[in-house]
Amino acid sequence: MTDDAITKKYMLKPDFHQFVPGSAAIHCNENLSDEEAEWYLQRYPHIEALFAPRHPEGGVIIQSKNRRKSMANKDSNKGGSK
């Protein structure tokens, strides 16, 4: 695809990955565009874990709902007891 590693919004973890249950593991950074990644993520949200986190200046950090909840709980417990 035409996206290079510097401008890609969605970067897969190394190796080939299976997005659709029962299909072959054919997806990698070299053959997946951001548009395709967004399409697959909308239809198969479980594949979110296959993407590497990115810093905001280099793209977006994909974070699951469970991780967001656990991070929110950690933040709310930081005050400690008085």
Q: Which of 15-19, 36-40, 42-46, 52-56 is least confident?
A: 52-56
Q: Tell me, what's the pLDDT at 53? A: 84
Kindly report the pTM of this predicted structure.
0.59
| Tokens 């967001």, residue located | 68
Whether residue 37 is predicted with pLDDT greater than 70 in this model: the reply is: yes
The ranges assigned to domains in the chain are 1-63
DSSP helix/strand/coil, 28: coil
Q: How confident is residue 19, by pLDDT bands cut at 50, 70 and 90?
A: very high
The number of beta carbons lying within 10 Å of the beta carbon of residue 34 is 15
Q: Return all residues near 41 (Cβ < 8 A) that are at least 6 apart.
A: 10, 47, 48, 62
Q: How confident is residue 7, by pLDDT bands cut at 50, 70 and 90?
A: confident
Q: Tell me, what's the pLDDT at 3? A: 46
